[in-house]
Amino acid sequence: MNRQRKNEITQQRIISALIVLINEKGFTNLTVSDIARVAELSRGTFYVYYLDKYDLLEKVEQNLITNLTRLMQTNIDCTISWLDHSETKKNTENLTDSPYRSFIQSFDYLDQNRTIIKSLLSQNGDSQFLYQLKTLIDKQIKEHYQLIFKDEKNVIPIDYKHDLLITSLMSIIGHWLQKESPESPTEIAEILINSRLLASYQLK
């Protein structure tokens, strides 16, 4: 086993231990000694990778947010471009053959990281992560606002429409992540696409 792979495995053991401890006692109450014990590593090994538990938390959250930002940016750009230029019938039958497949990738990433995200969003986790996630969605909606809502009548004031969209998206994501038998990424993406949240780009 090469050094890089060994480092990846060690870091994953540390992160897995963090998840277990957040669920058991909460981030506030856990210690580096706890993490090392659960990960079956020495404290010295932990400090090779992280300064303290806060540094570990920050790096884990930053990695999640960075990957979601990249996926969301690509998803929104591709989806809007496809819907503006494609003459293909927009229905759920061709969902996975269109750029909506890229949209599904966001949910696939959330699903792959469901355990850690659920822990971070729980009462025992980090309230700042919820703020980071909401800020990310807010930023993406603001950057593409005119395109997303370009065909809608301004019946609802813009600020309320914007807040309703973000709140609804956060609620759907949170509900889906907490389900014991959740829908697949494709199914939850289909539910969202067929909702009235993205009304201008609702599938016909």
Give the C-alpha separation, 121 to 5, whole Å: 29
pLDDT greater than 90 at residue 18: yes
Helix, strand, coil percentages for the chain (3-state, nearest 5): 75, 0, 25
- Which pLDDT tens digit goes with each residue over 22-58? 999 999 999 999 999 999 999 999 999 999 999 999 9
Contact between residue 103 and residue 75 where contact means Cβ atoms under 8 Å apart: yes
Give the C-alpha separation, 82 to 100, whole Å: 9
| Nearest by Cα to 140 from 198, 61, 98 | 198
Amino acid symbol at 88: T
Quick one: pLDDT band at residue 204, thresholds 50, 70, 90? very low
Token pair for residue 143?
């950057």
pLDDT greater than 60 at residue 191: yes
- Which pLDDT tens digit goes with each residue over 98-109? 445 656 788 899
Quick one: pLDDT band at residue 125, thresholds 50, 70, 90? very high
Which residues 6+ apart lie within 8 Å of 182 measured at CB? 111, 114, 176, 188
- In DSSP notation, 24-84 reads HH-TTT--HHHHHHHHT--HHHHHHH-SSHHHHHHHHHHHHHHHHHHHHHHHHHHHHHHHH
